[in-house]
């Protein structure tokens, strides 16, 4: 044992790349090294005006055996893009240590020793090419050629003959230093001399063996770089040991990292695989943070039914905590939630799920919802669409996925709101304000928070439950959405000025205590509650679900015949169906009556739709702006989006228009992840309808997690077969889009579960949906294998925003998109995620695409011919696609229209 070499200590300089965790995982898991990460602009060591910072950095290097200068966006010509990486090349002889540059780090190395950095004629992002070498140095013992993934818009020019001439002797000429760069020895080329870029340098090392600097242009960690391409890591590590044994006397010094101000304050150190920028913290006065006072809660209690004396007393008992200046905001929040729910929850006493089940028989999710009055009330419905056909590689669809909860087509969940009781959690990014609200939009508590994810984690833990049906993924908990703007906050991207002005909730969850889950595989309906002693409701639920269809449908029908709608609907039935007695006819024909009412509601409102479209010229200009950012090296892929607006005459809540639209959307664009959300009442709500084909992430109670990113789209149309779609989706453009997101998600997941615990179980498989064919990949991991305890909320926060809606690298791409999408404004619910956080520990979220949403108070007016004003609701539909260097403006516009129209056609037949 004493003869075993100690683990090498490596310093990774992270240039804010979205693949960095994959590189660290490759080094730590495959080659058993210990990696410490710092960012290239780490304030402890990077300050061009402070010599002490540079000295501290040089002193830090002495704690490590070697350095990895990582990839990232930008150019080595910009000192801010490379930061500390640029300091490596000027190390004194006594301070030198081995350095491996990857992509940006490789380019910075070459620039420092005489090379020029130039734009490729055709950028290579997610492109897989053949690399040639002479099996020397880094490439010793590798196969003569191997496939490697490239992510770069810039390349290194060392004025080698293979770069200056088209016809060369490939056996000898490319492998010698050039006159322009005598210090750089070429090690590998992609020199197929294609018509676009010519020969591209793939590997280099310094010719002076006392200067142990080398680098590679390609990404050895990519899922599509073959095993040969990753072997250079092992060769480099052997070189590190040999060089240090010869040139560095004795062992390296013990590692000592200066603490950042944030780490010192929190008493914690950042894990090397985490990539989180500090969230913005706005300092506020104690009086502002204690916004739920005695008076506020007392007024609220007096507004509620006086018969609920227990409720008022329990609220009063919490006021000492609410007004206690020493109590944390989170403890006040949890105490008030418990008091409102008339419980005395103890931290170590989990709730017990009460449940029962009945056969599904002929009941479908939509029918159950209508029986329960959901079309005209608050609710969250996450409905599994069983219409997605199997991928072309059917053998990968393992039936065991049913048992581990990762299948997309087994369960549908209906979250039930209890009037005056169900609580909603709202969070606003622009002022970091978290609110506790009732359905009538009354705010009963608010506080500013620097870490909303820890607050949500505390809520789920506070209401944790046990003993529910083990096969069900949801027992109760938080159901709702996280907007795109809230997602940006997790990566330190500040909303634009225009977005700051919004008062919309960026995170909106309801605490669901009662729910119904439909198991489509077993054809069973489960009704369950995490309320204490809620047996009466269970009995009522069973009674309702077992009654004959016409008996429990009838109470819902008159809801649509109330107030001003009764005369209109009654007249329609008389005229079209010659029905003289409405009530008598409904009693005999309840199901038909419901359908006729839905048809009338749609005809009345959608016949007056005013729509704004997205102009080809405007969208094409934005595509070109994206491609310029890509050519400049600032992004590999940019997921550009835009929005259309549907203006409909305002409908009263009892019309149930949003539900009618949702049911039509599910029929016209069925997808694995359908969702209907209605939060708030009386003109203060938000309505969302979604038929998303894409799972963002899923976590089972035993910690199994899965992502299903979708990139690469072919519109279904006459003459396009599945075989045609598979051929189109096999192109380098379509596969590059998907590959970039797969590598990005691997990075996100590695950051939580750790090295060696991430697996790509399906790579770029063609799946067929109602309106499109798409490339789908599946990435899985295991939270239980993480070095530190992790939850589904940890994974959610670490993974947002969805990479399929941003591009890569994620942070820089989001900043670029903010500038390009200025005219569009907030993405809002669209591009965020919709789903649940289960009190048993699981979670499931879809990406909010193929989605329309509207706010009740977002109203526009237009003047009618008679001079009066008519008010319109505004429904917003987002759509877009991934722009790469291979994209065409026309192709991107057509793809965006195909995705938008999948939703827009439930509003109207055509859009200008």
What is the DSSP track for 607-672?
Answer: TT-EEE---HHHHHHHHHHHHHHHHTTS-SEEEEEEEEEEEEE---GGG-HHHHHHHHHHHHS--S
Q: Which residues, other chains included, contact 165 with Cβ-Cβ below 8 Å and sequence gap of 6+? A: none
Instruction: Please check the confidence at residue 824 and state whether its pLDDT lies above 90.
Output: no
Which backbone phi and psi does 492 adopt, to 5 degrees?
Answer: 75, 20
Instruction: Please check the confidence at residue 832 and state whether its pLDDT lies above 90.
Output: yes
Looking at beta carbons, which pairs linking 191-199 to residues 24 or more positions away fall under 8 Å?
Answer: 191/132, 191/162, 192/129, 192/130, 193/166, 196/120, 196/121, 196/122, 197/120, 197/121, 197/122, 197/124, 197/155, 198/163, 198/166, 199/160, 199/162, 199/163, 199/174
Angle at 154 between CA 132 and CA 179, to 5 degrees: 65
Give start-end residues of each CATH 3.60.120.10 domain in the chain.
354-546+607-904
Lowest mean pLDDT among 122-131, 133-142, 491-500, 642-651: 491-500
Assign residue 682 a region (left: φ > 0; alpha: ψ between -120 and 50; beta: otherwise): left
Q: Which residues, other chains included, contact 82 with Cβ-Cβ below 8 Å and sequence gap of 6+? A: 15, 40, 72, 74, 76, 104, 105, 108
Write out pLDDT tens, residues 160-212: 988 877 666 666 778 999 999 999 999 999 976 556 788 899 999 999 999 99
The CA distance from 509 to 517, in Å, is: 18
Which backbone phi and psi does 43 adopt, to 5 degrees?
Answer: -65, -15
Instruction: Please check the confidence at residue 276 and state whether its pLDDT lies above 90.
Output: no
In this prediction, residues 290-309 reach a mean pLDDT of 44
Write out pLDDT tens, residues 446-459: 999 999 999 999 99
Lowest mean pLDDT among 321-335, 473-487, 670-684, 727-741: 321-335
The CA distance from 593 to 72, in Å, is: 60
Q: What is the torsional sign of CA 902, 905, 906, 912?
A: positive
Q: What is the pLDDT, as a whole number, of residue 577? A: 56
The CA distance from 18 to 57, in Å, is: 24
For residue 284 the two structure tokens come to 């506020």
> Would you say the pTM of this structure is higher than 0.95?
no
Lowest mean pLDDT among 435-444, 577-586, 709-718, 812-821: 577-586
Instruction: Please check the confidence at residue 563 and state whether its pLDDT lies above 50.
Output: no
The CA distance from 126 to 305, in Å, is: 61
Instruction: Please check the confidence at residue 852 and state whether its pLDDT lies above 90.
Output: yes
For residue 767 the two structure tokens come to 């799946």
The CA distance from 487 to 633, in Å, is: 24
Instruction: Please check the confidence at residue 329 and state whether its pLDDT lies above 90.
Output: no
Q: What is the pLDDT, as a whole number, of residue 344? A: 58
Q: What is the pLDDT, as a whole number, of residue 306? A: 41
Q: What is the pLDDT, as a whole number, of residue 172? A: 75
In this prediction, residues 777-795 reach a mean pLDDT of 95
Number of separate helices (H) and strands (E) present in the chain? 30, 36
Architecture label for domain 9-266: 3-Layer(aba) Sandwich (3.40)
The CA distance from 375 to 565, in Å, is: 15
If pLDDT is split at 50, 70 and 90, which confidence band does 304 have? very low
Write out pLDDT tens, residues 573-606: 555 556 666 566 655 565 555 566 666 666 666 7
Instruction: Please check the confidence at residue 432 and state whether its pLDDT lies above 90.
Output: yes
Instruction: Please check the confidence at residue 555 and state whether its pLDDT lies above 50.
Output: no
If pLDDT is split at 50, 70 and 90, which confidence band does 716 have? confident
The CA distance from 835 to 787, in Å, is: 27
Per-range mean pLDDT, top range of 214-218, 341-345, 900-904: 214-218
The CA distance from 745 to 697, in Å, is: 10
Instruction: Please check the confidence at residue 644 and state whether its pLDDT lies above 70.
Output: yes
Instruction: Please check the confidence at residue 111 and state whether its pLDDT lies above 80.
Output: yes
CA 775 to mean position of chain CA atoms: 18
Lowest mean pLDDT among 81-95, 126-140, 263-277: 263-277
Per-range mean pLDDT, top range of 279-288, 343-352, 434-443, 751-760: 751-760
Q: What is the pLDDT, as a whole number, of residue 97? A: 97
Straight-line distance from the first to the last Cα atom of the chain, in angstroms, rounded to the nearest whole number: 75
Architecture label for domain 354-546+607-904: 4-Layer Sandwich (3.60)
Closest CA to 733 of 773, 775, 778: 775
Write out pLDDT tens, residues 81-97: 999 999 999 999 999 99
Cβ distance 354 to 538 under 8 Å?
yes
The CA distance from 10 to 33, in Å, is: 7
User: In the 8-state DSSP scheme, what is residue 6?
Assistant: P
For residue 631 the two structure tokens come to 């050519």
Instruction: Please check the confidence at residue 387 and state whether its pLDDT lies above 60.
Output: no
β strands within 468-566, DSSP E: 477-482, 507-512, 514-519, 524-529
The CA distance from 763 to 167, in Å, is: 38
Instruction: Please check the confidence at residue 827 and state whether its pLDDT lies above 80.
Output: yes
Q: What is the pLDDT, as a whole number, of residue 870? A: 83
Instruction: Please check the confidence at residue 122 and state whether its pLDDT lies above 80.
Output: yes
In this prediction, residues 695-721 reach a mean pLDDT of 91
Instruction: Please check the confidence at residue 515 and state whether its pLDDT lies above 50.
Output: yes
Mean pLDDT, the chain, whole residue set: 83
Query: Higher model confidence: residue 250 or residue 43?
Result: 43
User: In the 8-state DSSP scheme, what is residue 121?
Assistant: E
Give start-end residues of each CATH 3.40.50.880 domain in the chain.
9-266
The CA distance from 691 to 903, in Å, is: 8
Lowest mean pLDDT among 263-277, 394-408, 850-864: 263-277
Query: Higher model confidence: residue 477 or residue 338?
Result: 477
In this prediction, residues 104-120 reach a mean pLDDT of 98
Q: What is the pLDDT, as a whole number, of residue 597? A: 62
Count, residues in the chain: 912
For residue 657 the two structure tokens come to 């228009």
Instruction: Please check the confidence at residue 253 and state whether its pLDDT lies above 70.
Output: no
Q: Which residues, other chains included, contact 893 with Cβ-Cβ below 8 Å and sequence gap of 6+? A: 616, 619, 620, 623
In this prediction, residues 429-435 reach a mean pLDDT of 93
Q: What is the pLDDT, as a whole number, of residue 271? A: 41
């Amino acid at each position: 044992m004493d003869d075993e070499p100690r683990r090498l200590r490596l310093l990774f300089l992270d240039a804010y790349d979205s693949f960095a965790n994959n590189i660290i995982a490759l080094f730590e898991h495959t080659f058993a090294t210990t990696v410490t990460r710092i960012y290239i602009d780490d304030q402890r060591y990077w300050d061009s005006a402070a010599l002490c910072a540079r000295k501290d950095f040089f002193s830090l290097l002495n704690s490590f055996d070697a350095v990895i200068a990582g990839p990232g966006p930008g150019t080595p010509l910009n000192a801010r893009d490379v930061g500390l990486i640029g300091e490596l090349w000027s190390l004194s002889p006594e301070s030198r240590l081995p350095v491996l540059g990857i992509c940006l780090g490789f380019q910075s190395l070459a620039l420092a020793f005489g090379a020029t950095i130039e734009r490729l004629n055709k950028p290579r992002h997610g492109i897989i090419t053949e690399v040639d070498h002479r099996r020397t140095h880094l490439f010793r013992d590798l196969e003569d050629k191997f496939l490697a993934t490239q992510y770069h818009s810039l390349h290194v020019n060392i004025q080698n003959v293979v770069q200056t001439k088209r016809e060369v002797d490939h056996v000898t000429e490319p492998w010698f230093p050039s006159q322009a760069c005598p210090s750089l020895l070429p090690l590998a080329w992609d020199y197929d001399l294609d018509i676009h870029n010519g020969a591209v340098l793939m590997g280099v090392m310094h010719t002076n063996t006392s200067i142990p600097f080398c680098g590679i242009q390609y990404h050895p960690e990519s899922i599509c770089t073959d095993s040969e391409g990753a072997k250079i890591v092992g060769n480099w590590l052997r070189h590190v040991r040999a060089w240090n044994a010869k040139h560095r006397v004795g062992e390296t010094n013990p590692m000592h990292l200066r603490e950042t101000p944030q780490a010192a304050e929190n008493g914690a150190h950042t894990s090397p695989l985490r990539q989180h920028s500090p969230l913005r913290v706005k300092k506020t006065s104690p009086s502002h943070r204690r916004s739920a006072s005695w008076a506020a809660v007392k007024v609220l209690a007096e507004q509620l039914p006086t018969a609920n004396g227990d409720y008022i007393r329990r609220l009063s008992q919490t006021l000492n905590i609410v007004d206690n200046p020493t109590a944390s905001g989170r403890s006040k929040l949890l105490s008030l939630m418990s008091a409102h729910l008339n419980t005395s929850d103890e931290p170590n006493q989990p709730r017990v799920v009460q449940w029962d089940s009945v056969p599904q028989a002929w009941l479908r999710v939509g029918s159950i919802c209508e029986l329960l009055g959901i079309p005209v009330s608050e609710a969250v419905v996450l409905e599994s669409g069983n219409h997605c056909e199997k991928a072309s590689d059917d053998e990968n669809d393992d039936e065991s996925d049913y048992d581990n909860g990762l299948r997309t087509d087994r369960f549908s969940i209906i979250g039930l709101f209890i009037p005056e009781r169900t609580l909603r959690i709202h969070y606003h990014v622009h002022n970091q304000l978290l609110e506790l609200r009732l359905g009538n939009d009354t705010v009963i508590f608010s506080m500013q928070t620097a870490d909303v994810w820890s607050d949500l984690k505390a809520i789920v833990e506070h209401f944790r439950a046990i003993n529910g049906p083990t096969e069900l993924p949801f027992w109760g908990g938080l159901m709702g959405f996280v907007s795109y703007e809230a997602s940006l906050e997790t990566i330190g991207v500040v909303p634009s000025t225009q977005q700051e002005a919004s008062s919309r909730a960026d995170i909106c969850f309801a605490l669901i205590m009662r729910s119904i889950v439909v198991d489509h595989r077993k054809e069973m309906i489960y009704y369950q509650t995490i309320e204490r002693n809620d047996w009466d409701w269970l009995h009522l639920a069973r009674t309702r679900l077992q009654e004959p269809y016409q008996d429990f449908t009838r109470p819902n029908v008159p809801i649509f015949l109330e107030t001003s709608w009764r005369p209109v609907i009654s007249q329609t039935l008389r005229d079209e169906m010659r029905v003289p007695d409405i009530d008598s006819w409904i009693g005999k024909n309840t199901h038909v009556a419901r359908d006729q009412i839905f048809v009338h509601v749609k005809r009345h409102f959608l016949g007056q739709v005013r729509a704004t479209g997205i102009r080809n010229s405007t969208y094409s200009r934005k595509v070109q702006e994206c491609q310029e950012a890509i050519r400049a090296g600032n992004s590999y892929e940019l997921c550009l989006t835009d929005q259309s607006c549907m203006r409909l005459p305002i409908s009263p809540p009892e019309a149930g228009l949003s539900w009618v639209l949702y049911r039509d959307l599910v029929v016209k664009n069925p997808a694995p992840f359908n969702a209907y959300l209605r939060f708030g009442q009386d003109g203060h709500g938000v309505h969302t309808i979604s038929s998303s084909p894409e799972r963002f992430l899923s976590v089972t109670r035993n910690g199994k997690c899965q992502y299903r990113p979708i990139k690469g789209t072919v519109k279904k149309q006459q003459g396009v077969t599945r075989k045609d779609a598979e051929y189109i989706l096999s192109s380098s453009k379509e596969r590059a889009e998907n590959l970039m997101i797969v590598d990005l998600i691997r990075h996100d997941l590695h950051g939580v579960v750790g090295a060696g615990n991430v697996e790509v179980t399906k790579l770029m498989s063609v799946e067929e949906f109602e309106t499109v064919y798409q490339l789908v990949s599946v990435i899985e991991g295991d939270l239980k294998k993480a070095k530190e305890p992790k939850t589904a909320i940890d994974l959610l926060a670490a993974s947002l925003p969805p990479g399929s809606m941003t591009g890569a690298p994620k942070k820089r791409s989001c900043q670029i998109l903010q500038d390009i999408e200025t005219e569009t404004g907030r993405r809002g619910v669209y591009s965020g995620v919709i789903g649940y956080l289960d009190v048993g520990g699981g979670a499931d979220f879809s990406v909010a695409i193929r989605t329309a949403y509207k706010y009740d108070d977002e109203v526009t007016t237009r003047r009618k011919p008679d001079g009066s004003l008519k008010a319109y609701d505004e429904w917003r539909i987002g759509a877009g696609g991934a722009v790469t260097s291979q994209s065409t403006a026309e192709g991107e516009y057509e793809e965006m229209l195909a995705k938008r129209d999948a939703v827009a056609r439930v509003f109207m037949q055509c859009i200008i």
